Amino acid sequence: MPSVRLQLTLITAALLGCGLAVAPAHAAEPGVRALRGVKVYPAPDAPPIDDGVVLVREGRIVGLGTRDAASGVPPLAPGCDGGVLMAGFQNSHVHLNGAAFANAKASPAAKLEDGLAALLTRYGFTTAFDIASDRDNTLALRKRVDQGELKGPRLLTAGLPLFPQGLPFYLDHFDPAFLAKLPQPDSVAAALATVRQNLDAGAEATKLFLVTPQRNRPPKRMAADIAEAAAAQTHRRGRLVFAHPTDLDGVRAALQAQVDILAHPPLGVPGPWPVELMDALRAAGVHIVPTLKLLRYELAKEKLPLPAADAVLQDSVREFGRFAAAGGKVLFGTDVDYMEDSDPTEEYELLAQAGLRPMQILASLTTVPAERWNEATRRGRLMPGMEADIVVLNGDPAQSVARFADVKCTLRGGRVIFSR
């Protein structure tokens, strides 16, 4: 049988041929543990390894290769071997406002952990970006996760979002005490103060609601000078800006303000979406979180008849597919904890209907967010030096994209944070 060094070197050579550098590792070194899979996807742009193994030490990946290469190496996570392995997923659009996370500073750890599992870790998310919540409560939740009091994903937050003078009608069901905290700056100075407060407290982004629908009234729109100043201040602090555009004019306002990420495309806006506008988004490097399942959810709330609702949904699926097919950058996200159903299966299926191939969907979960957050040397791939954030699936998503949601185990830093 070839030596460990030889087998891992052969895998290294194969991956190098695809542009993915992987350094050989000594499986026999002290502290190394092995996670074995029927298939390992090192990255969306690298060939899978059948009967593969990922070697981990102290929370980081130190090697990968064929299963035989790690003969005799102790298991990293008993009960998690035997699935399809890939890098941990990032959900780039979540909220943490549900009852499961209330009073996060003092709530029982088991309750919070169950909430995170139901929303995120059971679906393979090792990183989640909350883009609108009660900032201080979310930071308290994150602190308890980071201190190891409860198992959970890495949590990033935009803190309290900024609104125009008028909250959207679809927030009417929220607790009035929470709604009273939501900033509606009426001046550049007020907007800058909110941005500073969020970032000083520990937020990693700014969220701008550029357009807020009103019930039986025209929508409210954020003043251009406020949006531009808030975005510029965030960028000066080295952080990213999310925007909720709602409609095509909202997309234009996002471009004018130089935002980085659209939290949604203009869902429900009849196609074709203007080619020049979609081209401008791509040219500016703006990423979009599709949240296609959300549109069906909202249309059902409005009690639109099913055939009409499906036609509206398919129109947006088709238009978003055109954006992606032309090279638009896609970040996976689901708007969970605003949307009550946390299962992302339908989102994966709608992305496939839009024309995204399984490895493009995997990229939206792994390498694209790692690049967008300047973390490509730490996350998004299974290769030596990366943090051991790993998802173990029960089946191969290359055969059915629904398998992306069929999670056996989720590991963050080599530690199991969910096991089915």
pLDDT in tens, the chain (420 residues): 333 333 343 344 444 344 333 334 456 678 999 999 999 999 999 999 999 999 999 999 999 999 887 888 999 999 999 999 999 999 999 999 999 999 999 999 999 999 999 999 999 999 999 999 999 999 999 999 999 999 999 999 999 999 999 999 999 999 999 999 999 999 999 999 999 999 999 999 999 999 999 999 999 999 999 999 999 999 999 999 999 999 999 999 999 999 999 999 999 999 999 999 999 999 999 999 999 999 999 999 999 999 999 999 999 999 999 999 999 999 999 999 999 899 999 999 999 999 999 999 999 999 999 999 999 999 999 999 999 999 999 999 999 999 999 999 999 999 999 998
In this structure, the strands spanning 390-393 and 407-412 are antiparallel
Rg (CA), the chain: 22
What Cα–Cα distance (Å) separates residue 25 from each residue in 29, 52, 57?
A: 8, 14, 11
Q: What HEC string does 178-233 produce?
A: HHCCCCCCCCHHHHHHHHHHHHHHCCCEEEEECEEEECCEEEEECCHHHHHHHHHH
Report H helices in 148-187. 176-179
Strands, sheet with 154-157, edge to edge from the N-terminal-most edge strand: 89-94, 125-130, 154-157
pLDDT of residue 232: 98
CATH number of this structure's domain 4-87+381-419: 2.30.40.10
Q: Which sequence spans correspond to the domains of the chain?
A: 4-87+381-419, 89-372
Gap between the Cα atoms of 236 and 399, Å rounded:
44
Which DSSP state fits 99?
G
Q: Is the pTM of this model over 0.95?
A: no
Q: Can you name the CATH fold of 89-372?
A: TIM Barrel (3.20.20)
Gap between the Cα atoms of 53 and 75, Å rounded:
10
